[in-house]
Amino acid sequence: MDGNPGASAIPTSQTSSSSSSSSSSTPSAFALSNLGGSNQFLSAGLGLMIFGSFLAVSQRGIKKGASLAQRRLLISLEIPSKDKSHAWVLGWLGRQASLQNAAAAAARRQSLGSGKGKEKQQESLSVLLGLNQKAHASATKVWSHELSVETSLGEIKKQADQATESSKSSATPQQRRDKMEFNLVPGPGSHWVRYRGCWIKLHRERATKMIDLSTGAPWETLTLTTLRSTSHILPSLLSEAKQLAQESIEGKTIIYTAWGTEWKPFGKPRRVRDLSSVVLKDGQVERIQGDVKAFLNRGEWYRQRGIPYRRGYLLYGAPGSGKSSFITALAGSLDLSICLLNLSERGLTDGKLTYLLSNLPDASILLLEDIDAAFPSRTRSGGEDVGDGFVPGVTFSGLLNALDGVASSESRIVFMTTNHAERLDPALVRPGRVDLSLELGDADEHQVRLMFKKFYAESVQEENRNGRLTILQDELATAVKQETSKRRRLFGLDPTGRFATTTHGPSSPVSTPSTSSNLNPTLLPASKGGISMAELQGLFIRFPNHPEEAVKCFKHENEALREQLAAVNADPERN
């Protein structure tokens, strides 16, 4: 060792240097190692902490990745219950579920029948469901575990024997109850739809603490989710749902009423009434219908001349003259809806009225019935009691501004009706607000003959139909004319039925010309005291197949009525 000092010095120096460097560079690791080695629980806890951190980071990354993938690969469409398409899609879903249920039931029945029986049952099923070849080609499947029930009447659907509308309407209440059907449709929750070869996830969410204040129904939201590459099917689905909804109301008239600041359908759509079933004076139907048609076809003409595109009509006459019936039939003939608004409704204000008139449903008629009763202080001659003291929230100036003010809407048809046109303020019926005024009035000879023919043309024996009808028509028309004259004299009216004579009867319904200072000078009072069309219609309904009996009954009953009124006039204690 003394002979070779360098060889022994080098390893000693390296060993000491290495030992000192190792001990000085990893003291914390050495301490943790010693601590972990001496405490196995702490070591396991540290491992779990590291593993948990790893899982949290991984979960976060997975969520972000899934969210990114969803944004890139999927697309969602949200439909709130306030939107029109919400009801369309629900109706479409119910239709698909109904088809599936019926097809499954038919398949079970077909499995027990012969091949010929299968074809016959399938044909009956197609008629029952109103299907066509196109509907079969675009079959849709719905998978759902959350179901709701929809109860419907069988008369809504076409029966296998293709029953006519008349036979459906003649069904008894018990028969209609027997036709009641129950369909299981997708309820709140998630559902899968296979539509035109593409998958759609449909989520129907119903809020538990939110309701629609106008209807009281819970707030709902539909969410349709599909692949971005197949997003083109969403507009197709909405279009199909809309078409199905339109087909369900085809040939029907929708009546809307105001719910708050929204227009909501009132009840079920009504069957369109034939315009020819409402008999007015000669030429009146053609005049009004032609005017409305011309207005609907002249939108561009109005725009080019800077004229507000709106039209107003006033129909007035005695009760039962057919004002409301004609408007309903006219709307059906032109495929228009009717928006019925009561100006005396509690809670209706000028602001709400303006908003409602500015947001009328498309292709609709606004109907203001009994417009003279909406503003008693403006329409009635002084001093009359207005009832329970209720003051309408809509003012007269508010109505005028809503009809043609700065904030009024265009593309609008307004019909107003009244029994007392002379009581209306001239500002309401001036040109621009009312463009056409027409009195319907009591029945005249033309109306009597036409309505009589409509009711009894098929009841009279064919061999002498025309001759017998002519005799009975003339007889009834003459009787109506004579009875109208007698009634007006009895009521103390002039021959036109517009003004009272100096000799007042038991109930003079109109004023004399000398006391008409508060009346509208532009409109004469409607004729009263005659025979209304509603009275004649009621008579014909009582005798649907016996025209001779109807004529005899008319004469007998009116003669008895005049005798009673004459007895009242002769009794001084009753006058």
Express each pLDDT in 466-522 by its tens digit.
Answer: 677 888 889 999 999 999 888 888 888 888 878 887 554 444 444 444 444 445 656
Looking at 414, 439, 464, which one is the last position of a domain?
A: 439
User: What percentage of the chain has pLDDT greater than the value 90?
Assistant: 32
Decide if 335 contacts 246 (C-beta within 8 A).
no
Phi, psi of 479 (to 5 degrees): -65, -40
pLDDT reading at 259 higher than 60: yes
Output Rg (C-alpha) for the chain, integer angstroms: 40
Structure-block tokens of residue 94: 């119910």
Give the tens place of pLDDT for each residue, 525-575: 777 888 999 999 999 999 988 888 999 999 998 888 877 777 776 665 555
Number of domains present in the structure of the chain: 3
Q: Minimal CA–CA distance to 457: which of 472, 469, 474, 445?
A: 469
DSSP calls for 213-236:
TTT-PEEEEEEEEEEGGGTTHHHH
Supply the pTM of this predicted model.
0.73
3-state helix, strand, coil in the chain (%, to 5): 50, 15, 35
Query: Are residues 371 and 454 both part of a single domain?
Result: no
Within a domain: 69? no
Query: Are residues 150 and 192 both part of a single domain?
Result: yes
Give, in degrees to the nearest 5, the angle at Cα 481 between 476 and 486: 120
Looking at 439, 467, 489, which one is the last position of a domain?
A: 439
Q: How far apart are CA 434 and CA 246, in angstroms?
A: 32
Q: Minimal CA–CA distance to 515: which of 382, 321, 418?
A: 382
Q: How far apart are CA 485 and CA 530, in angstroms?
A: 7
More confident position, 117 or 223 = 223
Within a domain: 19? no
Query: Are residues 435 and 490 both part of a single domain?
Result: no
Sequence-distant (6+) residues with CB within 8 A of 153 are 176, 179, 180, 181
Looking at 439, 474, 492, which one is the last position of a domain?
A: 439
Within a domain: 302? yes
Query: Are residues 420 and 467 both part of a single domain?
Result: no
Within a domain: 236? yes
Query: Are residues 84 and 214 both part of a single domain?
Result: yes
Q: How far apart are CA 385 and CA 376, in angstroms?
A: 9
More confident position, 352 or 107 = 352
Give, in degrees to the nearest 5, the angle at Cα 361 between 331 and 209: 130
b/e sequence 262-293, b meaning 16+ C-beta within 10 Å: bbeebeebbebbebeebbbbeebbeebbeebe
Mean pLDDT, residues 225-245: 90
State the first-to-last Cα distance of the chain, in angstroms, to the nearest integer.
159
Q: How far apart are CA 454 and CA 275, in angstroms?
A: 13
Give, in degrees to the nearest 5, the angle at Cα 183 between 177 and 184: 145
Within a domain: 140? yes
Query: Are residues 231 and 364 both part of a single domain?
Result: no
Q: How far apart are CA 29 and CA 26, in angstroms?
A: 5
Within a domain: 494? yes
Q: How far apart are CA 501 and CA 422, in angstroms?
A: 18
Q: How far apart are CA 460 and CA 465, in angstroms?
A: 5
Query: Are residues 423 and 281 both part of a single domain?
Result: yes
Q: Helix H segments across 153-223?
A: 165-169, 173-178
Q: How far apart are CA 18 and CA 24, in angstroms?
A: 10
Within a domain: 396? yes
Q: How far apart are CA 169 and CA 210, in angstroms?
A: 40
Please give the residue range of the domain that contains residue 565.
Answer: 445-570
Q: How far apart are CA 342 and CA 347, in angstroms?
A: 11
Within a domain: 360? yes
Give the tens place of pLDDT for each residue, 17-76: 444 444 444 555 555 555 555 577 777 777 788 888 888 888 888 887 777 776 778 888
Decide if 169 contacts 155 (C-beta within 8 A).
no
Pairing of strands 364-368, 412-418: parallel
Query: Are residues 167 and 233 both part of a single domain?
Result: yes
Decide if 437 contacts 421 (C-beta within 8 A).
yes
Q: How far apart are CA 102 and CA 92, in angstroms?
A: 15
Q: How far apart are CA 371 and CA 423, in angstroms?
A: 10
